[in-house]
Amino acid sequence: MTAGLLFDMDGVIVDSEPIHARAGAIALQRCHLSLDLAPISLQFKGRTDRDMFEYLVQHQTDTPPAEQPLLVQRLIEEKAKAFGELLAEVPLVPGVLEFLAASRQRFSALAVTTSAIRRDQAQIFQRFDLHRWFDAVITAEDIQRAKPDPEPYLKTAAAVGLDPALCWVIEDSTHGIRAAKGAGCFAVGLTTAFTAEELRHAGADVVVDSFAELAALLFARASRSDNLPV
C-alpha cells in the first residue's frame, strides 16, 4: 500500500532541544531581558518560536502592546542567529540515519513537518546532508496554525500527494501527537522529550524508546496483518 512517513525534526531527527534552550537564553540576553525560558519550555515543546516569544513578551514583560511584535521578531532573529552559532554541537538522534535508509525502500514518500523556522531547518539539513532523504519539508513559515493544530500535517500529506490516513507520523511532543491525530495520521510517539504515558495520553497509537524499536515494529512485522497504514 502506498504510504508516507512524516517526521518531526527537533527531538526526532536531531537532539537539538538543549541547544534550542541555550539559543533562546542568548536571545533574551541580547534583547536585554532578564527572563528564564525553562519554566515554559515544555509547555511550548513542538510549537513555534513565535508562539513562545509572543507568550513571553505578553505575560512576562512590560512592553507596550504596540511594541510587542517588533520585540518578538527581534527575539526570533536573535535565537536563529544563536542557534546557528551553536549548530556544531547538535547531534543526530541515535539510529535515525539507518532508519531513514531502510524507510526509503519501504515507504513511497518521506517528509519533515517541523515547527522550526526554515533558517534553522536548512542549517540542520545542510550539516547532516538530510535533503537526500526527504520529498517535502514543511516549516513554521509554511503554515498559519502551528501544532497542535492539524494544519502542518495536512499540508505535509498534501505536499507528498497522500491521504493523511495513509501516513505515519513520528513525533516526540504531545502537541505534535495531537496535530498528527487531528490530521488523521497514525501517530508514533518517540520518548526523547515526554514520557510514554504522556504521549499515549495525547493520543499516540504506538510509543517507542528508539528507532531500533520502531524499525522492529515496522520492518520485522511486515508479514503480519496489523492495523497499520503500511
The three-point CA angle 86-138-78 to 5° equals 30
The cell for 186 is 497514525
Asked whether the CA dihedral 182, 153, 23, 51 is positive or negative, the reply is negative
178-229 pLDDT, tens digit per residue, is 999 999 999 999 999 899 999 999 999 999 999 999 999 887 655 454 545 5
- Using alpha carbons, select from 70, 72, 46 the residue that is nearest to residue 59: 72
Which has the minimum average pLDDT: 15-29, 35-49, 122-136?
35-49
Within 8 A by CB and 6+ apart from 221, the residues are: none
**Which pLDDT belongs to residue 36?**
83
Which has the minimum average pLDDT: 48-57, 68-77, 131-140, 165-174?
48-57
Is the model's pLDDT at 45 over the cut of 80? Answer: no
pTM of the entire structure?
A: 0.84
Torsions phi, psi for 110 (to 5 deg): -120, 140
**Which pLDDT belongs to residue 41?**
74
Q: What is the pLDDT averaged over residues 162-189? A: 97
**Which pLDDT belongs to residue 86?**
94
With the CA atoms of 48, 74, 56 and 177 taken in that order, what torsion angle do they form, in degrees rounded to the nearest 10?
0
Instruction: Decide: 181 and 187 in contact? Cβ < 8 Å.
Output: yes
**Which pLDDT belongs to residue 76?**
93
Question: What is residue 90's DSSP assignment?
Answer: P
**Which pLDDT belongs to residue 212?**
95
What DSSP line would sit under 145-165, residue for residue? S-TTSSHHHHHHHHHTT--GG
Is the model's pLDDT at 43 over the cut of 50? Answer: yes
**Which pLDDT belongs to residue 220?**
65
Which stretches of the chain are assigned E, i.e. beta strand?
Answer: 4-7, 109-113, 136-138, 167-171, 186-190, 206-208
92-108 pLDDT, tens digit per residue, is 999 999 999 999 988 99
Which has the minimum average pLDDT: 113-117, 157-161, 226-230?
226-230
5-23 pLDDT, tens digit per residue, is 999 999 999 999 889 889 9
Q: To the nearest whole number, what is the mean pLDDT of the chain? A: 91
Sheet holding 4-7, edge to edge: 136-138, 109-113, 4-7, 167-171, 186-190, 206-208
